[in-house]
Structure 1
Amino acid sequence: MKTAWLFLVLFATYGCSAKPNVVEPDAGADSSRSSKLYVVSHGWHVGIAIAAEELNAVIPELAERFVGAEYYELGWGDAGFYQAGETKAGVTLQAIVWSRGTVVHLVALPDSPAGYFPADAVLHTCINTEEAESLAQYLSNSLTRDEDGNLIELKRGLYGDSQFYDAEGRYHLLNTSNKWAAKALRSAGMELSPTFKLTADSVMGFVEENRQDCEQ
């Protein structure tokens, strides 16, 4: 009974706080699938990786911060839990019930994600130009700006050349890092509902079953 009551409270409180919203790609466009979209499993959550030039097109300041990056890998999550860098019961419970804010973890990769991360942790699919643009816009919308339109830098990241940034949305039981990743894939034109894609395995499984080859 208490569990049901808690669920109802969370739903009523956070039901409308699922930012960032999906950015639907242009349904009428039909360019070739020439851009690689990577999904990286970190065990409890997944990251999304795209070519740096695609995200630099909508966030030019990244090119100055991460000179020479070939790809960016991004993840979204609770500010306290994600920046802690380790799993602690108290921090985890706070993230689920009463998050103090959200962050995006952005890593600049010098090479393809397939060469940077363990092979069994990386999947890729290929998307067209319009899908790459809507995905880049979704990722951009995930980042908070200050009154001058600049990204808000927080702590240094967890590995490699990386940075935490203040992010949009509120983390909670119904709006997790994996739901954020599922909405990123939906923004890239993949036909999945982000509603129940709440585990890393479910997101990776969907990508494995629905991946597309690149076209020359």
Structure 2
Amino acid sequence: MKLFFLAALHLITACAAQPYAPAPLADQAQSSTTVYVVSHGWHTGFVVPADALQARIPALKTRFTDTPFLEIGWGDKGFYQAQEITTGLTLRAMFWSSGAILHVVAVPRNVRRYFANSEQASFCLSERNYTALLDFIAASFAKDPQGRVQPLKQGIYGDSQFYEGVGTYHLFNTCNKWTAKGLQQAGFDLSPTFKLTAGSVMAQVRGDSHICPQTAP
């Protein structure tokens, strides 16, 4: 029982829509947009150019003005916003989640410098696969009856904000599995089923032949 709890805790602390058949990753000659996956130890998220996502969700343009990139992470509503992590909070997130939430952070132009203390991997996507990834991210935001995203409290670092999310967090549907689903939508040849840890996600990103033709900022 203790080992099970420790394993579950390992997965849950990572995270403080039916997929369509994705198009294969474009080759280097066709790649056009640089995207990042950032690992903060146990938790992963995407860093994407702000403009295209803000075009899909205008409220993000109002909230995050003049930022070239946005980091987006998905997780359990109660756990992600908590100031202090407790055993009870961990168990609730694993088995009785209070709902999903998205964390959005304004990121300056030099992504690698901003996340210098985090593991990073970059890849390039064709227009088709980039659009598919953006659609996946945009669909992860919960909307009110008027189609507007629902901001919650301020985020946990930098210029950041929490938003109501779509989906159900549990032991086998973690933030890292959400990232893996996004990669699948973007054309990565993977199954998100067992991508429950940050390490498994980062290994997948680094293992695919998607190196950008030019050095990313």
* Aligned-partner Cα distance in 1 for 2:82–2:113: 26
Q: Is the 8 A contact 1:73 1:108 kept in 2?
A: yes
| TM-score normalised to structure 2 length | 0.84
Q: Could you say which residue in structure 1 is the equivalent of 2:10?
A: none
Q: Could you say which residue in structure 2 is the equivalent of 1:206?
A: 204
* Aligned-partner Cα distance in 1 for 2:122–2:25: 24
Following superposition, the deviation at residue 49 of structure 1 comes to 0.9
Alignment of structure 1 residues 107-122 onto 2, 5 Å: 107-118=105-116, 121-122=119-120
* Aligned-partner Cα distance in 1 for 2:129–2:18: 15
Q: Could you say which residue in structure 2 is the equivalent of 1:22?
A: 19
Q: Could you say which residue in structure 1 is the equivalent of 2:13?
A: none
Relative to structure 1, is the Cα distance of residues 141 and 51 closer, same or farther in structure 2, using a 3 angstrom cutoff? same
1:99 aligns with 2:97: yes
Q: Equivalent of 1:147, from 138, 145, 148?
A: 145
Q: Equivalent of 1:58, from 56, 59, 62?
A: 56
RMSD: 2.4
Q: Could you say which residue in structure 2 is the equivalent of 1:138?
A: 136
Relative to structure 1, is the Cα distance of residues 52 and 28 closer, same or farther in structure 2, using a 3 angstrom cutoff? closer
Q: Is the 8 A contact 2:25 2:125 kept in 1?
A: no
Following superposition, the deviation at residue 87 of structure 1 comes to 3.2
Report the secondary structure of 2:141's partner residue: coil
Following superposition, the deviation at residue 75 of structure 1 comes to 0.6
Relative to structure 1, is the Cα distance of residues 119 and 189 closer, same or farther in structure 2, using a 3 angstrom cutoff? farther
| TM-score normalised to structure 1 length | 0.85
Relative to structure 1, is the Cα distance of residues 118 and 24 closer, same or farther in structure 2, using a 3 angstrom cutoff? farther
* Aligned-partner Cα distance in 2 for 1:194–1:85: 29
Q: Is the 8 A contact 1:153 1:164 kept in 2?
A: yes
Following superposition, the deviation at residue 112 of structure 1 comes to 3.5
1:129 aligns with 2:106: no
Could you tell me which runs of 5 or more consecutive residues in structure 2 were left unpaired when the two chains were aligned: 2-16
Q: Could you say which residue in structure 2 is the equivalent of 1:47?
A: 45
Q: Could you say which residue in structure 2 is the equivalent of 1:156?
A: 154
Q: Is the 8 A contact 2:155 2:161 kept in 1?
A: yes
> How many residue pairs end up in the alignment?
200
